[in-house]
Structure 1
Amino acid sequence: MPSTDQWMAFLLVNIVAYVAARNTVLRRERQREKKAYTEQLERLEAERLFHIQLQQEQEQLLKEHWVMIQRQANQLDK
């Protein structure tokens, strides 16, 4: 039968192995979460830039239409 010291050594080795395995699992989970967060952030940034571009195009069209309206108003005044 194993001695008390052998049992303690066995338990300590298994506890350390369990903690190491658990830390590995947690580290991998954090890495996956970080990767998913980074990918989501990149998608949102691309979408934000797309909407900024659309807004700028709409503003340009609005300016062009306003110029046309002013020209037509000036022609009617003449």
Structure 2
Amino acid sequence: MVCFQKFPRKKKKEKKTLVSFFFFFLKKNYKKKIKKRKNLMKYFTTYLSTAPVIALIWFTFTAGLLIEANRFFPDPL
């Protein structure tokens, strides 16, 4: 009886094809997009908290309130 010794199988080398490169590129870009979205949201909230934006929102609200008050009660103003 002959005894065969089992050798560990060699892993197949991945072929560097255009398709594998494409998927690698997509995966890499997806991670970058997620980071970019987080940064964009951070920049947007920083922008919203600046004085000119807050002043614009406040003055728009006040003007709208005065216009509506004048529409319903025209004599007091």
For the aligned pair, the TM-score class normalised by the smaller chain equals 0.3 to 0.5
Structure number having the greater helix percentage? 1
TM-score (norm 2): 0.42
TM-score (norm 1): 0.42
Higher relative contact order (CA 8 A, sep 6+): 2
